[in-house]
Amino acid sequence: MASNDSRLRIHKEDDVTYVEFVDRNILDEANIQRIADEITGLIDAEASPKLIISFANVDHLSSAALGALITIHNRTKQKKGQLRLADIDPQIYEVFTITKLNKLFEIHETAEDAVASFA
Amino acid sequence: MSDSRSQPRAAAHVSVPNDPRALQAVKEEVLAAVSERAYPEAAAFAIRLALEEAVQNAYQHGNQSDPARTVGFEWRIAEKSMTVTIEDEGTGFTPGVVPDPTDPERLEIPSGRGLLLMRAYMTDVQYNDRGNRVTMTYERQAP
């Protein structure tokens, strides 16, 4: 599949992989599945993945998107990797609070803070 | 279904195929009608999220992603409140037996948060006895 089909912007710096969403709304089930598959591929490609997912561009997400993030979290944990979420708008952060997923994910204000948190 | 490019209807009753594009068109019309009533941004965020969850439940869990089935919508958007009803052709479910997804033991389970979000963001969420029709109301708070 051509890389320009991706709904993600991905770049790597040292041993850290940065992921950003192209779309402002992470709602569409088919898109969410593609995003989850792509990020899972990034995790599987690393022996000990260090991944930062930035929500800087995101205005809306659904429970299906949260489900994909949980799957990504579980996969990272299986590989003894480290996952950080960053740049989450207060309105979106409230969704994490309501679902108590702020207790499951390690969330940082900025990607810079997230990088500094890696062991 | 009306032409989605025309003026969004403040009140309507429609039935559309259980197809993501058809469902998307109805969601957009409802949200456009909300936008026309100048609901605050937080209200629009809440309604979009709850609508997304309810329609996804109807499409996937109720209608089992079957394109031969339909989803019925009824909405009324007024200055102070909006109500939307979504009905699928599934066998229904019992909302009271849905496990609490915020239970620490269940946090790593990827599914089961839609109903929680609908209830958190809307003023009222009611199911019929069969559990295949949900009515959600959002009441605007006084400024």
| Ramachandran area for residue A14 (φ above 0: left; ψ -120 to 50: alpha; else beta) | left
Whether residue B125 lies inside any domain: the answer is yes
Copy the structure tokens of residue A108: 């940082």
Whether residue B5 lies inside any domain: the answer is no
Chain B residues with beta carbon closer than 8 angstroms to that of A103: 104, 107
pLDDT of residue A36: 95
Whether residue B6 lies inside any domain: the answer is no
pLDDT value at B142 more than 80: no
Whether residue B45 lies inside any domain: the answer is yes
- At B143, is the pLDDT very low, low, confident or very high (cuts 50, 70, 90)? low
- At A30, is the pLDDT very low, low, confident or very high (cuts 50, 70, 90)? confident
pLDDT in tens, A33-55: 999 999 999 999 999 999 999 99
Mean pLDDT along residues B121-143: 94
Give the full edge-to-edge strand order of the sheet including B70-77: B11-17, B70-77, B81-87, B133-139, B124-127
Whether residue B1 lies inside any domain: the answer is no
Give the closest residue to A76 by CA, choosing from A104, A102, A48, A103.
A48
ipTM of the complex: 0.92
pLDDT value at B1 more than 70: no
- At A97, is the pLDDT very low, low, confident or very high (cuts 50, 70, 90)? very high
Distance of CA A75 to the CA centre of its chain: 12
Question: How, if at all, do strands B81-87 and B70-77 pair?
Answer: antiparallel
Phi then psi dihedrals of residue B132, to 5 deg = -115, 5
Chain A residues whose C-beta is within 8 A of a chain B C-beta are 27-30, 60, 62-64, 66-68, 70-71, 73-74, 91, 95, 98-101, 103-104
Mean pLDDT along residues A44-68: 95
pLDDT value at A2 more than 90: no
Copy the structure tokens of residue A86: 């960053």
- Specify the number of domains making up chain A: 1
Whether residue B3 lies inside any domain: the answer is no
pLDDT in tens, B18-41: 999 999 999 999 999 999 999 999
Question: How, if at all, do strands A16-21 and A8-13 pair?
Answer: antiparallel
Q: Is B74 exposed, middle or buried (0-12, 13-18, 19+ CB in 10 A)?
A: middle
Chain B residues with beta carbon closer than 8 angstroms to that of A91: 42, 45
- Specify the number of domains making up chain B: 1
User: Residue B65: which domain range?
Assistant: 11-139
Q: What is the CATH number of the domain that holds B34?
A: 3.30.565.10
Strands (E), A3-106: 8-13, 16-21, 25-26, 50-54, 60-61, 82-86
User: Residue A72: which domain range?
Assistant: 3-117
Q: What is the CATH number of the domain that holds A82?
A: 3.30.750.24
Phi then psi dihedrals of residue A32, to 5 deg = -65, -40
Q: CB of A74 within 8 A of CB of A40?
A: no
